[in-house]
Amino acid sequence: MSDLACRIASLHVHPIKSLAGVAPLEALLIETGLEFDRAWMVVDERGDMLTQRELPRMALVRPQFRHEDLVLRAPGMLALHLRLDAVEGATRVRVWDDEVKAYDMGALAAQWMSDFLGTRLRVVRFDPEQTRLADRKWTGDVLAENAFTDGYPLLVAGAASLADLNARLQARGQPPVGMARFRPNLVLEGLAAFDEDHVDELAIDTDEGAVRLKLVKPCVRCTIPDVDPGTGERGTAVGELLSTFRADARTGGGVTFGMNAVVLKGVEKVLRVGQTVRASIKF
């Protein structure tokens, strides 16, 4: 084990699961990851989650925090304002295999999302009284809470890993892609390409106190990295390239990019772009 110094290059919050994200300069760390990350979700009439896997145009819906609202904008649509402090009726929804308590965000939000995406949808918010834990197979003794994330509170990626991927894409005559396709929460600068695969813990000294994050599972990728966030159209180049060199035996040969992480220490501390990070590397 050895320690390497790196820094937070960017932070990313995706308020509504599978819509575009925002890149704040700072973000509060809470039990389920970064505050407001995947706190809302789009569901069908049965309450089952929907993502860019089924509806790639979801990538075109762009959120913005403004005063007390979450504002959604999409091509050809008037802005939709969702109050941060208001919900409507209680409901139950399904995220992967988990049925959880949530709150519906009302008829206007449902109609707006349905009109843009062309199918009958609802928008829901995670019930903070609900406990949804990450897989103990990977987290061990850590009881890691999630909102509507796929399975873990945080996703960590390295800036050098994206640069390596883009060099390989360009060698194939393909255009480079942005980190938004991989939907991380923390992007680290200063690690070598794919060094995050071997990180055990990240230690960050914030103004409010110490933060410790443990990287527990390589993130197996689906079709979403092949969705162009600028057009909402799906290609194949990213997934095809990753499959040639990113199969990870720890996940049974799944094609991976980035590492899922859990919070060991630091709830209610603030992460900021530029903060120094000590990464404990396992060799």
The model's pLDDT over 120-158, given as tens digits with 9 standing for 90+, comes to 999 999 999 999 999 999 999 999 999 999 999 999 999
> pLDDT digit string (tens) for 42-51?
999 999 999 9
> pLDDT digit string (tens) for 94-121?
999 999 999 999 999 999 999 999 999 9
Q: Count other Cβ atoms within 10 Å, centred on residue 131.
A: 13
Write down the pLDDT at residue 249. 95
Nearest-CA neighbor of 55 among 27, 88, 19? 19
Write down the pLDDT at residue 217. 98
Nearest-CA neighbor of 270 among 5, 17, 24? 24
Q: What is the mean pLDDT of residues 16-37?
A: 98
Per-chain mean pLDDT for the chain? 97
Going by pLDDT thresholds of 50, 70 and 90, the confidence category of residue 282 is: confident
State residue 71 phi and psi, 5-degree precision: -105, 130
> pLDDT digit string (tens) for 51-81?
999 999 999 999 999 999 999 999 999 999 9
Rounded CA-CA distance 204/272 in Å is: 10
Nearest-CA neighbor of 268 among 83, 32, 86? 32
> pLDDT digit string (tens) for 213-257?
999 999 999 999 999 999 999 999 999 999 999 999 999 999 999
Counting residues of the chain whose pLDDT is more than 90, the rounded percentage is 97
Going by pLDDT thresholds of 50, 70 and 90, the confidence category of residue 184 is: very high
Write down the pLDDT at residue 1. 74
Output the domain CATH number for residue 157: 2.40.33.20
Write down the pLDDT at residue 73. 98
Burial 246-261 (b: 16+ CB within 10 A, else e): bebeeeeebbbbbbbb
Domain of residue 98: give its range. Answer: 2-281
Per the structure, the count of domains in the chain is 1
User: pTM for the complete prediction?
Assistant: 0.96
* C-alpha radius of gyration, the chain, whole number: 18
Rounded CA-CA distance 207/200 in Å is: 23
